[in-house]
Structure 1
Amino acid sequence: MPTSLSRRRLVVAAGALTVGLAGCTGGDGDATPTATPTSTTARTDPAPVPAEASCAVCNMVPANFPDYNAQLTVEAGDRVFFCSSGCFGAYYVDPGHFEPSHEGTTFAGLWVHDHETKELIDARSAWFVRETNADRVDDPMQRNPLPFADRADAEAYVAGYDDLSEADILRLDDFDTDLATFYRGRFFE
């Protein structure tokens, strides 16, 4: 009988250890990296891009493009990731095309990477250059609007090219269907 009692103790101890360790993982069991944030701060601040996240427009992996990726959050709390400012712009213009539940949504936070510094900046205060020459920029998807934190940097960029002018410097509110389809037309077909 000592063997049965020892086995029983071992089984009970193993079960208790399993339950104890399961409780140590914390959280509510929702490990999805794009889970709905639970606080206002989570919606209004950028977050690290999960390695397994896919671009909401082209399905590339945004984490593979740390100097170019972008993200946004909607008031409902969803966080959406993009490989580039071009995919970000397409989604911004027509979110319902890519995610029907985001049709008519209000955005809580919008972030892109500055073309010069590679820092994540608020897209609502950014200046974008309507770059049309894919050969001038080595970034994902080849053709993207170029975000700048400062207008002076955008002006300096366009001054370097004869085919660009200050008319090519835009704000996020200037993004429209024509611009979105110029950069990501094949995803609107």
Structure 2
Amino acid sequence: MTGRDGLERRRLLGLLGASATAAVAGCLVDYSEGEDGSEDDGDDQAQVYEPTHEDVEAGPIEFVDTQGCAVCSMTPTNYPRRQSQLVHENGQAAVFDSPGCLFAYIASSTPDSPIADAWTTDFGTRELIDATEAHFVLITDEDAADDPMGIDPRPFADREDAMAFLDEWEAEELTEDDVMVGIDDVDLETASIYRGKRLPDE
């Protein structure tokens, strides 16, 4: 469970940081080509996200160069240290270039079918792990994180690794309450820390 005390503070800090870096943060500003071939100016409104794959019997599926993130359209294979994915019980699935986008999808997607399984990349081992049991450290200091696409939570398969990261992270005061186990508690408030400009207002 996450500690809700301070989530509002972290959300505000995350939104302020996102505003300051929107020009360079790929997952916060979408510069993909529009239907007419022109570059999107990134002024798109927050939206509700849909699956990008059908008829997935089991996952995880292979990440390939032709896939686009279901949230920001960036190519997950360009970010092998951050890529994530999930599959719904009805076989619909979605891939993401980062755990921040995974959070955004979970908080703002429409499929009637529940999520059956999800995976993300362990921040330490760089291996794909079960996101339903992962330990996500909810960092918020964007300057200290120096992430390529805004800011992302830090997923770890093992609690010990998450706690070790907490001990080493000096940019902000985080505690065990800032570690979310699994994805069941991902909501708009939490997801907005990482992808606030791509989410509807609460």
Residues 1:183 and 2:194 aligned together: yes
Give the superposition deviation at 1:147.
0.4
Larger RCO: 1 or 2 (CA < 8 Å, sep 6+): 2
SS for the counterpart of 1:117 is coil
What is the correspondence of 1:1-189 to structure 2 with a 5 Å cutoff? 34-37=53-56, 42-43=57-58, 45-96=59-110, 102=111, 104-160=112-168, 161=170, 162-171=172-181, 172-189=183-200
Kindly tell me: are residues 34 and 176 of structure 1, through their superposed partners in 2, closer, same or farther at Cα, counting changes over 3 Å?
closer
In structure 1, list runs of 5 or more residues that go unmatched: 1-32, 97-101
Aligned residues of 2:104 and 2:191 also touching (Cα < 8 A): yes
CA distance in 2, matches of 1:35, 1:140: 29
Give the superposition deviation at 1:138.
4.2
SS for the counterpart of 1:164 is coil
CA distance in 2, matches of 1:132, 1:180: 11
Partner residue, 1:15:
none
Give the superposition deviation at 1:105.
2.5
Larger radius of gyration: 1
- Residues 101-143 of structure 1 deviation map (CA, whole Å, 9 limit, x = unaligned): x1x4211210000000010000011000001112333434231
CA distance in 2, matches of 1:136, 1:119: 23
Q: Percent identity?
A: 38
Deviates more, 1:173-182 or 1:116-125: 173-182
- Residues 67-98 of structure 1 deviation map (CA, whole Å, 9 limit, x = unaligned): 101000111111201010000011112212xx
| One-letter code aligned to 1:184 | R
Give the CA RMSD over aligned residues.
1.7
Aligned residues of 2:188 and 2:199 also touching (Cα < 8 A): no
The answer to which structure has the higher helix fraction is 1
